[in-house]
Amino acid sequence: MMLNVREHLQGLAEGDLSIDLKYRGFVSGLLKRHLANLRHLTWQVEQVAKGDFTQRVDFMGDFSDSFNLMVVKLDEALTNLRETKETLTSLTESLRNEVDVRTAAVVALQESERRLRYLADHDVLTGAQNRRSFYLVAEAGMRTARQLGKYCCIAIMDLDHFKDFNDRYGHLSGDTALKQVVRIASEALRQSDSLGRYGGEEFIFFFSDATLEQAEKICNRIRLSIAGTPIDLGAQAVPITTSMGLAGVNPDWPDERNETFVEKIISMADHALYSAKEGGRNRVCTSSETHPDKWSPESAVDKPVELPRPSTTPARQTKR
């Protein structure tokens, strides 16, 4: 018996709870009871490890108090962790939503700014550059052309009999015509060229790195494309023609390339446009390469293209 008790105690000391006492008696009974308590405690620890924090020990004195306090603290700690996790998850979701909202606001603001910049530089109806924007482009283009020793040109285009077109088909149809003309003209331009709306049915072009002859070919390409594409008004297709006046800029001219100089070149092109109108419309007329300060309207009757030579006139009285 004593040997069995000794083996049992040695096993307990080493953590072995599988030994059974085969003898009866007071000592054996106490040891069996202690062994049962330890086995139950082992089971309770396993339950706590699985998340059951309701386990309590009441059969091991001070150890019971310490064990129970540990379980309570573990329960509180895990509860706090879960609550913290839920709070952080909610905060993360809230922040994610806030980021999405702010990102959408930034995108909307950028799009609004882009749209405002576009509207500040372009004609709302046709999408062509507005006059202010065109002048800036023309000034910069003329300065660059001068620095590089290159010719450049400005042309003005007017839709023939556009007032009659509006009166007959209505202003909405007139808007359709203006938009189609800009689309066709834009497709005929080179990448380096610019197109602006000068006012009403008049449009203005800047041709960089182009002589009068080269710019004249571009103008005629535009003119013929427009004339060959009738305006689709739904029930009918109505042809429309244009007249164009063209003026060139010699890189050797000493003038500062500013707005005043641009206006002078435009005035030369404008008189050439008048010559095209007087000569029968649907044509391109070019101004001579005379310096603006020495130029006169009488010199604005260079050769028209594919049509008889127009007559000269000292002042512009444009017929629409």
36-74 burial, b for 16+ CB within 10 Å, e for fewer? eeeeebeebeeebeeeebebebeeeeeeeeebeeebeee
Long-range contacts of 287-290 (CB under 8 A, 24+ apart): 287/245, 287/246, 287/247, 287/248, 289/212, 289/248, 289/250
Closest CA to 137 of 221, 257, 254, 253: 257
- Report the CATH fold assignment for 131-299: Alpha-Beta Plaits (3.30.70)
Look up residue 81 and give its two tokens: 């962790």
Exposed (0-12), middle (13-18) or buried (19+): which is 127, by Cβ within 10 Å? middle
So what's the pLDDT on residue 272?
94
Task: Name the active-site residue from 86, 111, 201, 202.
Answer: 201
Q: What's the CA gap between 283 and 220, in Å, rounded?
A: 8
- Determine how many CB atoms are found less than 10 A away from the CB of residue 148: 12
Rounded average pLDDT per 10-residue block, the chain, 320 residues: 60 60 60 73 85 81 84 88 91 93 94 91 95 96 95 97 95 96 96 96 97 96 97 93 96 89 94 93 85 61 39 39
Give the domain ranges of the chain. 2-52, 131-299
DSSP secondary structure letter of residue 201:
T
Q: Which helix (H) or strand (E) holds 74?
A: helix 62-121
So what's the pLDDT on residue 22?
60
Q: What are the Cα distances from residue 23, in Å, to 155, 224, 285?
A: 122, 122, 131
Of all residues in the chain, what percent carry a pLDDT higher than 70? 79
DSSP secondary structure letter of residue 310:
P
- Determine how many CB atoms are found less than 10 A away from the CB of residue 136: 15
Residue 201 is a catalytic residue = yes
